Amino acid sequence: MDNYQASVRITTIIVTYNRQLLLRKALAAHTAQTLQPTRLLIVDNASTDGTHEMLVAEGWLDRPGVELLALPENTGGAGGFAAGLKHAFDNGAEWVWMMDDDAEPLPDALAELMRVATDPTQVYGSLAVCGEETSWLTTLLAPSLGEVERPDVVPECAAVQSLPFLGFLIHRDLVARIGFPDTGYFIAADDVEYCVRAQQAGASIVMAGKSRIEHPKSRPYKVRVLGQTLTCLALPPWKRYYDTRNRLLIARKYYGIKLLTQTIPGSFVRLFAALLREPRKLAQLHAFSAGFIDGVLGIKGKRHEWWHIR
């Protein structure tokens, strides 16, 4: 550990909702870090499964530097990370490292990340792995290796298009310029929008290949239409709503004519793939239609219940 790592003020944020068993494993992984953060902030999105009681009973909140931010309602990942960032910076953090409750960083994950994170104007992130594979296909821009799914080919420092809020590291100076995650997204693509916003402010998005976090592997499937390949996710209807809507919200805000030429056609391809491959087809169609309407109209917020989507 160098002097910089030892002196910098880092807050780790874990956002959780009704997954106390996963949270317990995540907390154990964080306490095993070779580089300990100044603070560990648990953001509880109004869990109803006894999460708070577990934290008290097991003494997590009695540990030095561990803090609970209990939100009065479920604000989704977007709201949880926004609230956590604000709280962390209000309490003196320089860097914030944030992730969900199903992430288990390897013992040297934070140390390896901070070894790479030398520029407060950039965004940095850990590599999500599941055993000997990456947790999802990772596209490397520099070096230009395209999509990779083996952690061993990811270099120590690689430029990427975006990073998930899963080992996502950002400095207070950059947040002061670009603001907090957009709480209106609730879940899905809030991290993508945040990366686009950072890039528009001149930031690069950098993955640290030696900073690794264990995370369940996603199982996307690919659909090829008219020479174009789209990556699709198997989603329950309520998540289909946010996936559809938030893709459109991002395209409306940033992509100009590509909203019409790429995002909307791609949305319909994903719908047809879902109708072919996934159960509850009428519910999938309803969720897509609701997400499409709200996305085109620019309506944000927690809306799946308003549309009676489950």
Q: Identify any residues that bridge with 44 across adjacent strands, giving them in sequence order.
A: 16, 70
Task: Assess whether pLDDT exceeds 60 at residue 3.
Answer: no
Nearest CA to 35 out of 215, 214, 211 is that of: 211
Other beta carbons less than 10 A from residue 224's beta carbon:
9
| Average pLDDT, integer, range 63-79 | 98
**193-222, pLDDT tens digit by residue?**
999 999 999 999 999 999 999 999 887 888
pLDDT band at 38 (very low <50, low <70, confident <90, very high): very high
Q: Are 84 and 54 in contact (CB under 8 A)?
A: no
How far apart CA 49 and CA 22 sit, in angstroms, is 12
In tens, the pLDDT along 112-147 reads 999 999 999 999 999 999 988 899 888 888 777 778
Given the candidates 3.90.550.60, 3.40.50.300, 1.10.3210.10, 3.30.450.20, the CATH classification of the domain at 3-214 is: 3.90.550.60
What's the whole-number mean pLDDT along residues 240-253? 98
pTM of the predicted model, to two decimals? 0.94
pLDDT above 60 for 70: yes
Do 81 and 13 touch, CB atoms closer than 8 A?
Answer: yes
Average pLDDT score over residue span 154-165: 94
Domain limits, the chain: 3-214, 221-297
